[in-house]
Amino acid sequence: MVAVRVGCFAEFGDATVMRVEHRADPGRPRASQLLVAVEASSVNGTDLGLRRGDLPPVTWGRMPFVPGFDLAGRVLAVGPAVTAFSPGDRVAALLPHRGGGLAEQVLVEQDRAARVPDEVSAADAAALTLAGLTALQALHRQGRLRERTGPGGRPARVLVSGAAGGIGSFAVQLAALEGAEVTGTTSRGKVAWVRDLGTHRVLDRRAEDLDAQLADAGPFELVLDAAGRSRHRELAPHLAPGGTVVSVRPLHPDVLRSLRPGRADFTAVRTAARSADLAHLVHLVATGRLRVPVEHVVRLDDVAHAHHLAEAEGRGKVVVDLTA
């Protein structure tokens, strides 16, 4: 057994509860597993909620808990049933609810992983995984963006609420790549940053006349609540006929109250670890069509600072470098 470093917490609290420990390596891969030497993992809102104790116990493992749902690294070894990867391959992967990605070595099922070409850095690949998959699946699986057009065949109008966050910053770009007319809402200090991502219009979400501005920009064929904070009654008035609101927080109480049987204008995304979707996102990054908004790269030894940055800034992605 070789000792590996992990980032973890043993109690709920603010960012200062995060610490680095040494644990035994995860062992040899079995069946269809990959053993990955992790180079980078990013901090997501789910990690922050777990650390604070905000999320339901279905997501829990034992304390001390190792968060981290996405990773990028290099395959060290493969199980006997692996057919798609070989030792030495660069990969990105989305881990299940038990997390564990904030570790120097991780076992992951091959159907949760995708190859990463040399053109894509480990930091970008790690930052892409959970947030990018959520944005892609919310727009296309739940939101059916490619099926939507406006009156007279004009491009669909898409509203991304919370456009500066990890999910939102991918969503505005992915919607624009489909030819949609994209409006984003964010706080005033992030308006210029969101505009640089390619939105057609960016609105201050705290503006007194926000509803009037949304009415002028809409109505919208698709609304994505990328921050998971909005209620159906706040967004539904801005929908075009046949339009849909998609939330990224299916377990949030306000979202659960809106997910009534038979309602066609409100749904929620449950992110799936689809290798094909992840490979598509990696290809978009490798070919320069999708920008990964990495704001900070922080060493594992400074993992508490990484959590602090992710909580304080609320824009783009914070990545933890496990090689430094």
How is the chain split into domains, by residue range?
Answer: 3-115+293-321, 133-268
Short-list 252, 282, 255, CA closest to 267: 255
Same fold: 3-115+293-321 with 133-268: no
Mean pLDDT, range 84-89, rounded to an integer: 96
For residue range 195-223, what is the model confidence (pLDDT) as tens digits?
Answer: 989 889 999 887 888 888 888 888 999 99
For residue range 276-310, what is the model confidence (pLDDT) as tens digits?
Answer: 999 999 999 999 999 999 999 999 999 999 999 99
* Rounded Cα gap, residues 196 and 159, in angstroms: 16
Lowest-pLDDT range of 18-27, 104-113, 224-233, 239-248: 224-233
Q: What is the pLDDT at residue 209?
A: 82
Q: Please check whether residue 85 is in contact with residue 76, taking contact to mean a CB–CB distance below 8 angstroms.
A: no
pLDDT of residue 44 exceeding 60, the answer is yes
pLDDT of residue 256 exceeding 60, the answer is no
Cα radius of gyration rounded to whole Å, the chain: 20
The 8-class DSSP code of residue 101 comes to -
CATH topology assigned to domain 133-268? Rossmann fold (3.40.50)
For tokens 């199980």, name the residue: 79
Structure tokens given for 17:
């509860």
CATH number of 3-115+293-321: 3.90.180.10
Lowest-pLDDT range of 144-153, 227-236, 278-287, 310-319: 227-236
Regarding pTM above 0.75, the answer is: yes
